[in-house]
Amino acid sequence: MLKNLKTTWQLETCLRVLRGQDRTKRLEAIDGLSALRDARAIEPLTDLLRDEDQEIRIAAAQALGRFSDARVLAPLLRALLDDHKEVRLAAARTLGDMFAAPTNEPLVKALGHPDAYVRAVAARTLGKWGKREAIPHLIAALGDKEGEVRKVAAKALKRLGEPSWQQWIDGTAQDFARMGAAGERRALEPLTRALTTGTPSLRASAARGLAPFQDTTPVPVLITLLRDEHPEVRIAAAETLGELGDRRAVEPLLFALDDRKENVREAVVAALDKLDQSRDGHVQAAQTKP
């Protein structure tokens, strides 16, 4: 009872100081709240991440690292977008050095954040926490349009006992071709995701990376790419549709014969030829069955 009363008194004393204007005393109060490790301090500390004083925001980000509580994750992830670099770095270091929180959910959600820096920090932190349930989410992040995020995700996967991904990922457009050539079935998700994000060369590489799997799941997306504004993407989509042998691609490919670019039309003709050969092969196989 006395211990609880003392903790409450210390907490309230620190909170009173934080409402003052003296920077030095406020910084000492933040240290005091951090040392208490009382869950009641989490909300006041997260509020300080919006303080007008940069030094206070840095200290608050560092202090939150003392709490193994999922409530600190979202505020720290928001702090990665702070206007001041030192605050962003403090938040990133805190996330990386924290003991694993009870749930990965805020970090998994952050893998889809619009800002690449937030996505990279989220991937790195998931790797450091060592929870293997993060693996599917990190594999999905290998389809990120930013090469640096892909490299961080691959490194995180290595920490979680999946070293192969790092052999295929170097942050270039060839990442997707290498994943496809490796034949790792779990690469289907990031490759399919990459069809609709990033530069034309990335999307074209992702389309070609899907061909070795002979999986028709991404066919609808590949069909939409036949109308992409970039010829290299249209060519790659046509090539992969021909390799996959799915008859759903025939009509869209016939329409694509009117493409304004000759090299696209040539790729479409080649794809249609492969689809015809595939159909003939299936018919012949069916006829030879006893």
Per-residue pLDDT reduced to its tens digit, 166-209? 999 999 989 999 999 999 999 999 999 999 988 999 999 999 99
pLDDT tier, 62 (very low <50, low <70, confident <90, very high otherwise):
very high
Phi and psi angles of residue 111, each rounded to the nearest 5 degrees, phi first: -65, -20
Clarify whether residues 136 and 181 are in a common domain. no
Q: Find the DSSP H helices in 80-182.
A: 85-97, 105-110, 116-129, 135-141, 147-159, 164-168, 174-182
For residues 80 and 152, state if they share a domain: no
Q: Using an 8 Å Cβ cutoff, are 238 and 268 in contact?
A: yes
Q: What are the backbone dihedrals phi and psi of residue 193, each rounded to the nearest 5 degrees, phi first?
A: -60, -40
The span from the CA of 34 to the CA of 47, in Å, is 14
Q: How far apart are CA 253 and CA 265, in angstroms?
A: 9
Q: How many CA atoms lie within 13 A of 30 on its CB side?
A: 24
Check pLDDT > 50 for residue 217.
yes
Whether residue 91 sits in one domain with residue 136: no
Number of other residues whose CB lies within 10 A of the CB of residue 112: 13
Of 140, 191, 139, the residue nearest 160 (C-alpha): 139
AA identity, residue 104: N
Alpha-carbon span 136 to 186, nearest angstrom: 8
From 141, 171, 201, the end of a domain falls on 171
CATH number at 209 reads 1.25.10.10
The answer on 246 and 202 residing in a single domain is yes
List the domain range (segments joined by +) for residue 159: 103-171
Give the mean pLDDT of 56-80.
90
Instruction: For 207-220, give one letter per residue: b (16+ CB within 10 A) or e.
Output: bbbbbbbeebebbe
Residues 153 and 226 in one domain: no
* 165 and 192 belong to one structural domain: no
pTM (2 d.p.)? 0.81
The answer to whether residue 160 scores a pLDDT higher than 90 is yes
From residue 116, alpha-carbon distances to 120, 145, 205 in Å are 6, 9, 20
In the listed set 143, 171, 199, which residue is the last one of a domain according to the structure? Answer: 171
What domain count does the chain have? 3
Cβ–Cβ under 8 Å, residues 239 and 271: yes
* Domain end among 48, 74, 101: 101
Structural domain contains residue 8: no
Same domain for 276 and 197? yes
Percent of the chain surpassing pLDDT 70: 92
Question: Closest Cα partner for 219 from 180, 250, 197, 190?
Answer: 250
Is residue 59 in a domain? yes
Both 180 and 249 in one domain: the answer is yes
pLDDT in tens, 70-109: 888 889 989 988 989 899 989 988 888 876 666 788 889 8
